Amino acid sequence: MATKAPEKITKPKDRDFLNHLETYLSKRDGVDKLLKISRYATKIILASSLIPETRSIIPRLKSFESSVGVSRKAFRLGKFVQDINALRSSRWDSNHELLLLIIAYGGEGLYYFVEQFIWLTKSGLMDAKHSKWLQKISAWAELVGYVGSVSIKIRDLRKLNDEESCVASTIEISDLADGLMTIADIRDGKGVLSAPNVISSAVLLIE
């Protein structure tokens, strides 16, 4: 009886460091979304007349909303890596598509990168005097990223059938709502569309 040749054991292809890092960091996205919902639900309560300003819980709600905002920035540490990987793995058929990809992933990546330094100023490790201009850079980078992302999705919508278009449209509305929040940051909360109750309602609607 012939002996069976030993099976060749093949090792799975190793992923590079950036892919491993992205997988590790993505596990916190669920917690970040929960914090996001909690923060904007609190904003709606504070912006409404549900609780009188004289109640002692109001300062605690404001403190909670502020601390959750800082916590969310901590959850974004290293998140810019996913945009680097997305750009590395992207395919394009023209220079126009390449430009849209750079705008979308470059803008979002810069936003997440700058957010790390904003967290350092909020936590006290960096001088708070840098906070304002860092927030401006962050807001503009985020807006640029949303413009690129929405442009790419509009292009992709033209290639989809009706059922897929409904799903993609929902994703696009999410981007537009996030863009609304970004514009509010750039305008320092000025204007009707930048009102806390409008922004918070938009966030909870898309979540």
CA dist., res. 171 & res. 151, Å (int): 12
In a domain, 65, yes or no: yes
Structure tokens at 136: 């401006």
Taking alpha carbons only, the member of 61, 163, 62, 144 closest to residue 101 is 144
In a domain, 67, yes or no: yes
Q: Which residues of the chain have pLDDT under 50?
A: 1-5, 7-12, 192-194
* Amino acid code (one letter) for 128: A
In a domain, 9, yes or no: no
* Amino acid code (one letter) for 136: K
CA dist., res. 108 & res. 113, Å (int): 9
CA dist., res. 145 & res. 87, Å (int): 13
Domain that holds residue 67: 18-206
pLDDT at 8: 46
Question: What pTM value is reported for the model?
Answer: 0.67
Cα–Cα–Cα angle for 109, 139, 174, rounded to 5 degrees: 75
In a domain, 140, yes or no: yes
